[in-house]
Amino acid sequence: MKREKVTMKDIAKELNLSLATVSYVLNHSEKEKISHDTRFKVLETAKKLGYVPNQSAKSLAKSHSNLIGIIVNIGKSVSSYSKQQALDLAGELQQQIYQSGYDTILSVTQDFEEFQIKYKHSLEAAFIIDIDEKALKKITKHYYVPLVFLDCDFEETLFYKVLPDYDYIIREAKKKLETEQPYLIMGQIINERLKDQIITHFRPEDIFINRSSANLKEFLSERVSQRGIIIGDLLGLQVERYVDNSNILVLSSNIATDLLLPDTKRIIVSNHQKAVIAVEILKKLLTMDYDETSNTRILLLPDPIAELLF
């Protein structure tokens, strides 16, 4: 039997709210004073019931700003390697957004208190790169438009998160290196949950997090006979200066790069792949054209195109 189409009235009745309130939320209006909790309930119920906007709602969307925000959170002490990684991902997002017919505004911030300002630009939606759960709560208090998060993880199921499946990737990296106890070299990650997912695969004494006070050369000199996993191409480039590159594997974000030696082992979850998937998700969110039962935690496996090249 064909399921009857869910309407805004159905959502309003389910939540005992006015039709106007539901309409404001589903049209991502930021002008009306609707509480954070009410917005959440409307969006969750719309997803649960399988609401899809009608043609008039889609027509209304055409009068919007057509502007998508990209918010890069670099923190106050993040290394240049981590900044480069985030900005490269932002560039890939911009390209995919332009190809989808939208314009972008890029903001690099060290303090998410500034995030409220971004809504004055009448964004239709936003991508946020790396954020901790404390900052997430601050942002969602001002939640008016669809948000997609990249390279971070948290329990909240309403928002989509796009991130590498580090559990799978690190297991594969250990197989390629033929060792169960490699060392790890990585940049700083603001999102604690994601950082914990990575470091849990390594012994504490074998973990090097690149900070201004850390000495990479000294760390490597104590592990001459040990094999290692490096997260990020620029860090991989630096490690190649000190060790035999046959003993390392780089978790890379680029399909094609001339940074690393040609025979350095790599597993690639490309920023291009992340951007394509994230923008497709966002386009569905803007029209609410998605499966209400879908998982909002998108774990990425190695890029299938890159696997054919390496």
Same domain, 85 and 134: yes
Same domain, 251 and 290: no
Tell me the HSE value of 45 on the side-chain side, using a 13 A CA sphere.
21
Q: What is the CATH number of the domain that holds 25?
A: 1.10.260.40
**CA–CA dist 50, 285 (Å, integer):** 12
CB within 8 A of 260, min separation 6: which ones? 233, 236, 237, 240, 245, 250, 252, 266
Domain contains 307: no
Same domain, 198 and 255: yes
- Per the model's pLDDT, the better-predicted residue between 111 and 187 turns out to be 187
Same domain, 87 and 140: yes
Same domain, 149 and 296: yes
Predicted local distance difference test score (pLDDT) of residue 56: 44
Domain contains 42: yes
Per-residue pLDDT reduced to its tens digit, 80-127: 777 888 889 999 999 999 998 888 888 887 766 555 544 545 778 889
Per-residue pLDDT reduced to its tens digit, 64-79: 678 898 988 776 666 6
Q: What is the CATH number of the domain that holds 189?
A: 3.40.50
User: Torsions phi, psi of 221, nearest 5?
Assistant: -65, -25
Per-residue pLDDT reduced to its tens digit, 269-289: 999 999 999 999 998 888 766
Same domain, 92 and 232: no
DSSP output for 104-152: EEEEEES-GGGHHHHGGG--SEEEEES--HHHHHHHHTT--S-EEEES-
Domain contains 308: no
Answer yes or no: are the C-beta atoms of 289 and 168 closer than 8 Å.
no
- Domain span holding position 78: 64-163+272-301
Same domain, 183 and 252: yes
Q: What is the CATH number of the domain that holds 138?
A: 3.40.50.2300
pTM to 2 decimal places: 0.79
CB under 8 Å, gap of 24 or more: what pairs does 258-263 form? 259/233, 259/234, 260/233, 260/236
How many structural domains does the chain have?
Answer: 3
Whose structure tokens read 């609401």? 51
Domain contains 2: no
Domain contains 1: no
Tell me the sheet residues that pair with 129. 72, 150
Domain contains 310: no
Same domain, 136 and 68: yes
Predicted local distance difference test score (pLDDT) of residue 115: 53
Domain contains 306: no
Please return the burial class of 180, using the count of CB atoms within 10 Å of its CB with bins 0-12, 13-18 and 19+: exposed
Predicted local distance difference test score (pLDDT) of residue 112: 61
